[in-house]
Structure 1
Amino acid sequence: MLEAIGLDDEHTAVYRVVLSTPSASVDEIATAVGLTKLRVRQIADQLEHLGLLAHQASAPDRVVASPPSLALRPMLLERERRLTLAHEALVQLSELYREGAAQREAADVVDMVFGADAVRQRFLQLQAAAVRKIDVFMLSDIAVLEPEENPEEARAIARGVRFRIVVETPLLERPGFVADVRASTPLGVGVRVLPTLPTRLLITDDELALLPMRSHGEERASGALLLHPSGLLDLVIASFEEFWARATEFGADDELPGDHDAVDRDLLKLLLLGLTDAAAGAQLGISLRTVQRRVSELIETAGVTTRIQLGAEAVRRGWV
């Protein structure tokens, strides 16, 4: 409740307890909120400093709450004033940036980002600033951040940013990949697959693009190029669109006839994308024997006799 003025859940809990009673002692508050007496005293002192609590005149060992309308309103108004000033500064700085960008020469449409840490920081910043969409080329090996080191991706998805991700086929063998795709598809994340990609790439809102100085090799994360609006950026965007159009969609809710379920649909896609029976089974959490049995059943359902014919029939019928 009080996060907007820089306080946490413990401060909120203490303030709520005191608000709900005429007065309260440290012992009573500690019992009510499940904190130690020492911690309650620390929080009470902080709330008193902010004007949210005061010691009772007739019983100094007890505290009373100040009316929220008197105690909180000035702080909230000050926060609003600072946010307004920050927004005005952002508008002014953005205008200066646009004016500078309009004067860029050919060499200025590309910024060079040096060092792995700087690349990671810019990678996170671009996702945090995205408003509409993020387009990504994802190679089979991680070069910038592990998924657990990239909280901005989940935050962008949560605020409605649309992701389009083209991945290399070997990524399909990464544990949990299919489950992750299934979970993210309803949230506006599209995933398509190609055997190989030329480089890593991140494009935000068709306004900025980040790609490594080196696509492969040990120094692939040591530096990156940040592309600003220009013909070069237009070329990179057009390249992404071409690869996206050529890639095989993964994650669509295709329907299979009869008793076949989502596992069969995923199995077909993984096999058509080049995974072995063993790799596909590991990705789906089923045994090699189960993979072979399911494939045999799919062949029978399709009315064909070979796996090649099954692949062609699955495409023709729209199963994948």
Structure 2
Amino acid sequence: MLSDVLGLTPEQSDTYRALISVASATPAELAESVGCGASQVVRILGTLEGRGLAARSHGDTTRFMASPPAAALRALLVQRQNELKLAELELGSLDEIYRAAALGRGVGGVVGVIHGTEAVRKRVGHMQLGAREEVMNFVKAPVISAGNLTDGAVIARGVRYRVMLERAILTEGATSFDEIVRARAAGEEVRIAETLPLKLFVVDREFAIVPLLGPAKAAKEGALLVHEGGLLDALIALFESEWGKATQFVSSADAMQNAPAIEDLDAQILSLMLAGLTDREIAAQLRTSLRTVTRRVRHLMDITKVQTRMQLGFQVARLGWLEAERDGSRTV
């Protein structure tokens, strides 16, 4: 959209699109096409004229013609690109100033407080969009925000995104199996833990947000914002420790290393079983019958030549079926 890329308002974008579709037009004629009042179109045309996107007809100054898009819009695009380059230079300068000030930051400046649930949600969103290298996330009920676990555009830029889910997130319905599959398809790495000690959101190992939880695990109105320092290092070490112990999540047989010819459903059942879900909970997540889950688990036990589910988990770990992520694969 022109309004998104070149800084035009939706009304200006619609008016310009209408104008380039005709040889010339008066404000009244354009008003019918774009659904605005004639007086508003007059103001819009004045703005477009000032930006080089429209001009008055030589024979009749009450009529307007569109400037050629290839020339007029390219000039605006170059202007926006130059503005972005200047913004990047300014950002680099500000970042250097911030880091210099951080070296002298006292104890009181290491941890800040974000007040209000909406403020926490917005700060998490801003930090996520600004990530350059890696995002690490502990997801624990109650979830900060609904919807996708992550922003696909962030991963598309090459940012590594690691998320750990507390098992209750699945069993209590806060996040579904399908949502995790979509996140994995976008490139996210997901693991499931029995419990997590806290909520945590770390960006580029430079900042962390720790939402506050009350005695009953109900979200309080705020979060801690932790800057670089010993506390942030400890939080990162905690994440890495929990990450190493958690169960990797797979949603297809192709994602399992060294595994025999098993079906996607087998891989999904095994992944959820190792995460601690009961057969009934697995059946609900995969929208299949309890009987099917039990039968497929028995099939997996026969393949690995074991007699118990505990032995099955041990054998899967020993055979390295869930080692794909450690080899750098992002297969889901």
- With normalisation by structure 1, the TM-score equals 0.81
1:195 Cα shift?
0.8
Classify the secondary structure of the residue corresponding to 1:50: helix
Unmatched runs of 5 consecutive residues or more in structure 2: 323-332
Distance in 2 (CA, whole Å) between partners of 1:236 and 1:126 is 17
Shift of the 275–313 alpha-carbon distance from structure 1 to 2, 3 Å rule, reads same
1: CA distance, partners of 2:266 / 2:154: 31
Q: Which residue of 1 aligns with 2:273?
A: 271
Once the two structures are TM-superposed, the CA of residue 37 in structure 1 deviates from its matched residue by 5.7
- Kindly state the Cα deviation for residue 164 of structure 1 after the two structures are TM-superposed: 0.9
1:108 counterpart residue number: 109
**CA root-mean-square deviation:** 3.4
Task: Give the drift of 1:244.
Answer: 1.0
Q: Residue 257 of structure 1 is aligned with which of 260, 278, 281? A: 260
| Offset of residue 66 of structure 1 | 2.3
The aligned counterpart of 2:313 is 311
Cα pair 1:27 1:37 within 8 Å, conserved: no
Runs of 4+ residues deviating >6 angstroms = 25-30
Query: 1:169 aligned to 2:167?
Result: yes
CA distance in 2, matches of 1:175, 1:279: 14
Q: Residue 86 of structure 1: CA displacement?
A: 3.8
| 1:168-317 equivalent positions in 2, closer than 5 A | 168-173=166-171, 174=173, 177-214=176-213, 217=216, 220-251=219-250, 253-254=255-256, 256-258=259-261, 260-317=262-319
How far 1:301 sits from its partner (Å)?
Answer: 2.9
Q: 1:110: Cα distance to partner?
A: 1.1
State the Cα distance separating 1:191 from its structure 2 match.
Answer: 1.0
Per-residue CA deviation, residues 283-302 of structure 1 (Å, 9 max, x unaligned), is 11111122122223333333
Distance in structure 1 (CA, Å) of the matches to 2:260 and 2:289: 23
Q: Report the Cα distance in structure 1 between the residues aligned to 2:84 and 2:276, rounded to whole angstroms.
A: 53
Query: How far apart in 2 are the matches of 1:119 and 1:18?
Result: 44
Q: Deviations over 1:155-186 (max 9, x none)?
A: 32233321111111222333763333333334
**Separation in 2, partners of 1:290, 1:75:** 60
Distance in 2, matches of 1:87 and 1:175, equals: 38
Q: Deviations along 1:125-183, whole A, 9 cap, x unmatched?
A: 221221111001111x12422226x8x73332233321111111222333763333333
Distance 1:103 1:49 in 2: 48
Match of 2:146 in 1: 146
Work out the CA distance in 1 between the residues paired with 2:273 and 2:233. 35
CA distance in 1 between counterparts of 2:166 and 2:91 reads 38
SS in 2 for 1:90: helix
Is the CA contact (8 Å cut-off) linking 2:18 and 2:34 kept in structure 1? no
Percent identity over paired residues? 37
1:84 and 1:319 mapped to 2: Cα distance? 46
Q: Evaluate the alpha carbon distance shift between residue 98 and residue 307 of structure 1 in structure 2; reply closer, same or farther with a 3 A threshold.
A: closer
**CA distance in structure 2 between the aligned counterparts of 1:245 and 1:127, rounded to whole angstroms:** 23
Matched to 1:123, the amino acid is V
2-side partners of 1:99 and 1:176: how far apart? 41
CA distance in 2, matches of 1:20, 1:207: 51
Question: Secondary structure of 1:297's partner?
Answer: helix
- Counterpart residue type for residue 145 of structure 2: L
Matched AA of 2:302? E
Q: 1:229 to 1:311 in 2, by over 3 A?
A: closer
Q: Structure 2 matches for 1:103-142, cutoff 5 A?
A: 103-139=104-140, 141-142=141-142
Q: Structure 1's 86 and 303: CA in aligned 2 closer, same or farther, altered over 3 A? A: closer
Check conservation: 2:56, 2:63, Cα contact below 8 A.
yes
Q: How many residues align?
A: 312
Further displaced range: 170-179 or 110-119: 170-179
Query: Distance between the aligned counterparts of 2:174 and 2:226, measured in 1?
Result: 33
1:245 match: secondary structure? helix
